[in-house]
């Protein structure tokens, strides 16, 4: 078997994998893999019967896609990252995404501060608390 083929948990080669096996390996539905293929994120080989046959590189690609999704990257951005030639272009994409993520983190931190303000309020109705209103006003400006 070729070294580019998927391996068993003990490191042995297991040959090309079908879509069901790949989906099971990553805990995904097969339609997710088909969607990613339609979007250009995956390009599995096909056998004589036109069935998808995934190799080690495809498994790595799925792992990369999942990790990027966990980081909050949209599929279009992930596609750009995995299909763009050149480290400079990929870094430009990553710089843009880092800025988006920083903005989302700042918004989440502001929301958390507002919630913590409400939790620490002694008023029966925290929305009537001047301190809470001030914190809420800061979020809207």
- Name the domain count of the chain: 2
Rounded Cα gap, residues 114 and 124, in angstroms: 16
Residue 86 neighbours by CB under 8 Å, 6+ apart: none
- Clarify whether residues 57 and 118 are in a common domain: no
- Clarify whether residues 75 and 124 are in a common domain: no
- Clarify whether residues 57 and 94 are in a common domain: no
Helix (H, G, I), strand (E, B) or coil at 53: strand
- Clarify whether residues 71 and 102 are in a common domain: no
pLDDT in tens, 103-126: 999 999 988 988 888 888 888 888
Of 2-6, 48-52, 98-102, 128-132, the one with minimum mean pLDDT is 2-6
- Clarify whether residues 76 and 94 are in a common domain: no
pLDDT in tens, 25-73: 999 999 999 999 999 999 999 999 999 999 999 999 999 999 999 988 9
- Clarify whether residues 62 and 31 are in a common domain: yes
Number of neighbouring beta carbons within 10 Å of residue 90: 15
* Domain span holding position 126: 87-141
What per-residue string of b and e applies to 9-24 under the rule 16 or more CB within 10 Å gives b?
eeeeeeebbebeebbe
């Amino acid at each position: 078997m070729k070294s580019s083929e998927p391996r068993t948990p003990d490191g042995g080669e297991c040959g090309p994998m079908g879509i069901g096996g790949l989906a099971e390996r990553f805990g995904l539905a097969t339609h997710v893999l088909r969607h990613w293929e339609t979007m250009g994120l995956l390009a599995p080989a096909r056998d004589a019967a036109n069935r998808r046959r995934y190799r080690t590189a495809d498994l790595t690609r799925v792992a990369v896609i999942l990790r990027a999704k966990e980081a909050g990257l949209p599929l279009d951005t992930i596609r750009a990252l995995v299909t763009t030639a050149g480290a400079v272009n990929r870094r430009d994409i990553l710089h843009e995404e880092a800025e988006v993520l920083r903005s989302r983190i700042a918004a989440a931190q502001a929301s958390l501060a507002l919630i913590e303000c409400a939790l620490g309020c002694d008023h029966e109705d925290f929305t009537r608390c001047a301190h809470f209103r001030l914190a809420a006003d800061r979020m809207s400006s």
